[in-house]
């Protein structure tokens, strides 16, 4: 198993949003959120717009990040989030 830090998760989301919107990653702001009622989400600010991503969107960003940075193809069900001092991403890798 591989674990991504909150910084890597934030980076994954910034890169994915930037690619989809055609902007530079440094122009994307992300705040990660965990709420008991709704679970994990990301509050995103880009080009003056505010967007809220649910966990499914975050998983897609992590998948793209793992492919781009580590050349790893991981299925959705192999990615899970957990809360410790920060939000971490657990990734099931092939053994």
Q: How far apart are CA 73 and CA 43, in angstroms?
A: 26
Q: Is the dihedral of CA 8, 89, 36, 44 positive or negative?
A: positive
pTM, rounded to two decimals: 0.93
- pLDDT tens per residue, the chain (95 residues)? 999 999 999 999 999 999 999 999 999 999 999 999 999 999 999 999 999 999 999 999 999 999 999 999 999 999 999 999 999 999 998 75
Nearest to 82 by CA among 38, 31, 40, 41: 40
């Amino acid at each position: 198993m591989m674990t991504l830090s909150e910084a890597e998760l934030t980076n994954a989301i910034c890169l994915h949003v930037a690619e989809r919107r055609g902007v530079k990653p440094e122009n994307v702001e992300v705040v990660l959120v965990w709420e008991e009622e709704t679970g994990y989400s990301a509050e995103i600010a880009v080009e003056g717009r505010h967007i809220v991503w649910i966990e499914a969107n975050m998983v897609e960003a992590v998948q793209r990040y793992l492919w781009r940075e580590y050349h790893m193809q991981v299925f959705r069900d192999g990615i899970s989030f957990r809360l410790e001092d920060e939000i971490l991403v657990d990734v099931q890798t092939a053994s």
